[in-house]
Amino acid sequence: MSKVKTAFFCSNCGYESAKWLGKCPSCNVWNTFIEEVVERNSKEKNLWKDISGERQTSKAKLLDAIENVKEERIVTIDAELNRTLGGGIVSGSIILLAGEPGIGKSTLLLQDALQLNDTILYISGEESEQQIKMRANRLNIRNENFYILTETSLSVIFTEIKKLQPSLVIVDSIQTLQSENIDATPGSVPQVRECAASLQRFAKETYTPVFIIGHITKDGNIAGPKILEHMVDTVLQFEGDQHYSYRILRTLKNRFGSTSELGIYEMTSDGMRMVNNPSEILIHQKEEVLSGSAIAAGMEGLRPLLIETQALVTQSVYGTPQRTTSGLDTRRLQLLLAVLEKRGGFHFGVKDVFVNIAGGLRIDDPSTDLAIICALLSSYDDSPLSPNICFAGEVGLNGEIRAVNRVEQRIAEAEKLGFEKIFIAPFNKKALNKTKYNIEVIDVGKVDELYRLLF
Ligand code: TYD
Ligand code: MG
């Protein structure tokens, strides 16, 4: 009996090697090699070519001789999705929608695709026809051109595609697909790579856009092969906290648009609802003002977003004070506390500090620093801040308040939501085009000045 052929793959980038390696020569990450069974059954590498039967040979062409084609886009009813894609689904593009299991990837694509007028093929290797039907009933949308195929074999899928000639294909999920050309388990690096390559070939040759759903692991990597990111045109990441109903759709890569776009949804009992004005929901409407809360005029993508930051500072009961954060990098909090300790003379070293970003959001925008510092001071002092003020500034290591980008947009958003004062960096204030706002714009240069200004 012949021995089974195996190879080793880097689970981070998909690099293939005949023997096990400690460090990947391609992405330089340690301990990522896993052994996978690989056995090619056929000499032909690409399944779509096998089935489509077209075997055209490629020729080098002059750039000038290539016809200009108008970039055609399918515009969906979902404005958030259109925006993250840069204005709609480009024909022939291959889009990866990545997210943790249960976040709502299937729901989002099913909901948006059901509202298109073209022939759509939804391929599911994860759910039965009945389950998808139940989900569609729950979404309460009817569509007469919507086809479901519950199949994992790539050759069967391509045969169906050839018969049906859909204008959009959705694959849920890439980790369940299996190509007969290669003997490896579904979800393994070689299998995912092979299936994605075939789908890519299909998309480019027929100008059919393909959505691929991919699961990500706990540490945020697209399961197994990071290589998928290189193979597709657009990578969208769907994220959010399981315990909150808000979901954020982020563009990580886009060959046809900007990567700073983002869409916000709310998961409801009958599908995803677009959130047009996120600030209004994120800011907690409350009757009494409590200490330890400050509003940051942040940005999510290109959109201004007012976010509530909360801090709780208590006397430490253990020898080592605790620093716990949710929605914020703990190291960022440690840095801010060190600045307050050294430049402001506040003794956080004997206090436990907890910081939370309301609404289950995760922020990495440094312009929220100023609000976090104010929330910390407010809780430290146990004196509430006025509910009508907000902040936009980055805090430097010397305790200086640094300028942030798009400050005018942030001010406008704060003004729109009825805030009375906004604190910004002096450099930002100097550069403001408009001098007269309905909202009072106050500049603050150092963290130690802040305390006097606020309390
Ligand atoms: P799903 O789309 O299956 O997630 P994924 O494909 O990313 O794994 O979403 C699963 C969750 O969504 C599940 O917990 C039920 C919930 N849900 C709603 O809250 N409202 C709905 O209308 C639907 C269809 C699902
Ligand atoms: Mg799913």
| pLDDT per position as a tens digit, 72-107 | 889 999 999 998 998 899 999 999 999 888 889 999
Atom of ligand 1 nearest to the CA of 271: 22
Average pLDDT over residues 44-69: 74
C-alpha to C-alpha distances, 250 to 36, 118, 215, nearest whole angstrom: 32, 26, 15
Ligand nearest to the CA of 109: 1
In angstroms, the CA 195 to CA 187 distance is 10
Quick one: tokens of 441?
């714009």
Ligand 1, atom 10, residue with closest C-alpha: 102
Average pLDDT over residues 225-250: 83
**DSSP state at residue 270:** T
Choose among 275, 278, 276, 306: nearest CA to 293.
Answer: 306
Q: How confident is the model at residue 330 (pLDDT cuts 50, 70, 90)?
A: very high
Ligand 1, atom 21, residue with closest C-alpha: 271
pLDDT, tens digit, 9 for 90 and up, residues 398-445: 999 999 998 998 998 888 888 899 999 999 999 887 777 889 999 999
**pTM of the complete model beyond 0.85:** no
Choose among 245, 268, 272, 270: nearest CA to 97.
Answer: 272
Phi then psi dihedrals of residue 242, to 5 deg: -55, -30
Asked if residues 401 and 422 have their Cβ atoms less than 8 Å apart, the reply is no
Quick one: tokens of 68?
């200009």
Say if residue 222's pLDDT is above 70.
no
Decide if domain 73-276 falls under CATH 3.40.50.300. Answer: yes
In angstroms, the CA 236 to CA 262 distance is 9
In angstroms, the CA 18 to CA 38 distance is 11
Q: Are strands 303-315 and 246-254 parallel, antiparallel or unpaired?
A: unpaired
Q: What percent of the chain has pLDDT over 90?
A: 44
Ligand 1, atom 11, residue with closest C-alpha: 102
Q: Which residue carries 């990441």 as its tokens?
A: 237
Atom of ligand 1 nearest to the CA of 270: 22
pLDDT, tens digit, 9 for 90 and up, residues 122-181: 999 999 999 999 999 999 888 888 999 999 999 999 999 999 999 999 999 898 999 888
Asked if residues 151 and 165 have their Cβ atoms less than 8 Å apart, the reply is no
**DSSP 3-state assignment of 336?**
helix
Is residue 82 exposed (0-12), middle (13-18) or buried (19+ Cβ within 10 Å)?
Answer: buried
Choose among 120, 109, 131: nearest CA to 212.
Answer: 109
Please list all protein residues whose beta carbon sits less than 5 angstroms from ligand 2, which is an ion. Answer: 106
Ligand nearest to the CA of 172: 2
Tell how far the Cα of 269 is from the centroid of ligand 2, in angstroms: 16
Phi then psi dihedrals of residue 448, to 5 deg: -70, -30
In angstroms, the CA 363 to CA 446 distance is 23
Average pLDDT over residues 237-257: 85
Tell how far the Cα of 109 is from the centroid of ligand 1, in angstroms: 11
pLDDT value of residue 437: 84
Q: Where are the domains of the chain?
A: 1-44, 73-276, 281-454
pLDDT value of residue 312: 95
Atom of ligand 1 nearest to the CA of 172: 6
Give the sheet arrangement for strand 6-10, strand by strand.
16-17, 6-10, 33-37
In angstroms, the CA 205 to CA 55 distance is 11
Ligand 1 residue neighbourhood (C-beta within 6 Å): 99, 101-107, 135, 138-139, 267, 269-271
Asked if residues 48 and 158 have their Cβ atoms less than 8 Å apart, the reply is yes
Tell how far the Cα of 131 is from the centroid of ligand 1, in angstroms: 12
Atom of ligand 1 nearest to the CA of 111: 24
Phi then psi dihedrals of residue 87, to 5 deg: 115, 15
pLDDT value of residue 384: 92
In angstroms, the CA 179 to CA 202 distance is 14
Tell how far the Cα of 152 is from the centroid of ligand 2, in angstroms: 14
* Total count of residues recorded for the chain: 455
Atom of ligand 1 nearest to the CA of 267: 19
For 276, residues 6+ apart whose C-beta sits below 8 A from its C-beta are: none
Q: Are strands 262-268 and 168-172 parallel, antiparallel or unpaired?
A: unpaired
C-alpha to C-alpha distances, 273 to 104, 168, 246, 266, 374, nearest whole angstrom: 12, 22, 9, 5, 33
Average pLDDT over residues 66-77: 84
Say if residue 55's pLDDT is above 70.
no
Choose among 97, 244, 231, 252: nearest CA to 173.
Answer: 97
> Which CATH code fits 281-454?
3.30.230.10
Q: How confident is the model at residue 61 (pLDDT cuts 50, 70, 90)?
A: confident
Indicate the top mutation candidate among 100, 106, 107, 269 to test ligand 1's pocket, ranked by most ligand atoms within 8 A of CB: 107
Ligand nearest to the CA of 102: 1
Ligand nearest to the CA of 247: 1
pLDDT value of residue 15: 84
In angstroms, the CA 73 to CA 118 distance is 13
